[in-house]
Amino acid sequence: MSLRKFLLAALAGAFTALALPVAAQQTLKVGSTPTGIPFTFLDTKTNKIEGVMVDIITAVGKDAGFEVQIEPMQFSALIGALTSNRIDIIAAAMYITDARKQVIDFSQPIYTYGDGLFVPKSDTKDYTSIQDLKGKTVGAQVGTAYVEPLQKSGLFADVKIYETIPDIMRDVNAGRIQAGFADLPIVAYNLQQGRFPEVRLVKGYKPMVVGSVGIGVRKSDQELLKKIDASLNKLKANGTIKQILTKWGLED
C-alpha cells in the first residue's frame, strides 16, 4: 500500500471512531402501564403508550442523553420486570413507598396525590373515611398501596383485587361491587372523559394513603439515578414538568 493510501485509510478510521459515540446513543427500556390514564395509557389511535410519565421520562432522556423505548405491561409486573433486567426504568403511577424502596430506588418525587373513593351514582351518601363503608364489598388494584390498609382494616365484607383500575370502575358501574379505591387522578380523568357513567367520585372522602410518584430504577443503577434526578431538577426549574402536568389536566 502506498503512503498516501495508508494515510487516507488511517484518517477514515479516525473519523469513524470519532463518529461512533454520537451514533451509539443508549436506548433504555421503560416499563409503563396501558390503563393508568392520564399517567400512562394505550392510545388506540397511535397504538402507543402515552401520558404524563411517558412525556416526563422522554424529556428526561432527551436532557440526559438517552433514548427511551416504552414497554407496556401490567402494574403488578413492573418491579419484577425491572429487577430481572427486562426493563431499565419504571415510569408509571407508582408511589414511592418504604416497602418498594427495599427492592428498587426512586427519583425525587414528581407528583403527589391520594386515593379516590368511587361508588355507584345511585349511592348518594357522603362518605368521609373507610369506616363509613363498613360491611360493603370493595375493590382495589393489585400491587397498589391501598390493598394492605383495606385488608387489614377488617371493615369490609370482601376486598376484591383487580388487575387494572378500569376493571374496578367497570364493576362499580355495573353494581357488582359497592365501592372502589384507586389513584384519584386516574379515577377523575376516566370520569371526565365520560367513561363509566353510573360511577361517581366521592368528593368529601379523605384519602387513607397519600404518596408521591417517582421514576424507578434498579439499586445497581446509581449513575442512571443521578442523571435522572439532575434532569428532573432542570425540567422543574425551566417549567417543563409543569407544562406536562398542565397538558394532562394535573395542574391549573
The whole-model pTM stands at 0.84
Per-residue pLDDT tens for 208-219?
999 999 999 999
pLDDT at residue 25 in the model: 76
Looking at the DSSP bridge assignments, the partners of residue 120 are 199
105 and 218 in a common domain: yes
d(CA 47, CA 24): 27
26 and 105 in a common domain: yes
pLDDT, average across residues 44-54: 96
Q: What range does the domain containing 60 cover?
A: 3-110+214-247
106 and 155 in a common domain: no
Band of the pLDDT at 11, cuts 50, 70, 90?
Answer: very low
- Residue 252 is assigned to a structural domain of this protein: no
- Residue 42: pLDDT over 50: yes
Band of the pLDDT at 24, cuts 50, 70, 90?
Answer: low
pLDDT, average across residues 31-41: 96
Our count of domains for the chain comes to: 2
- Residue 17: pLDDT over 80: no
> C-alpha dihedral over 67, 71, 74, 79, to 10 degrees?
-50
Per-residue pLDDT tens for 124-154?
999 999 999 999 999 999 999 999 999 999 9
> C-alpha dihedral over 205, 206, 208, 212, to 10 degrees?
110
227 and 174 in a common domain: no
Per-residue pLDDT tens for 167-216?
999 999 999 999 999 999 999 999 999 999 999 999 999 999 999 999 99
pLDDT at residue 210 in the model: 97
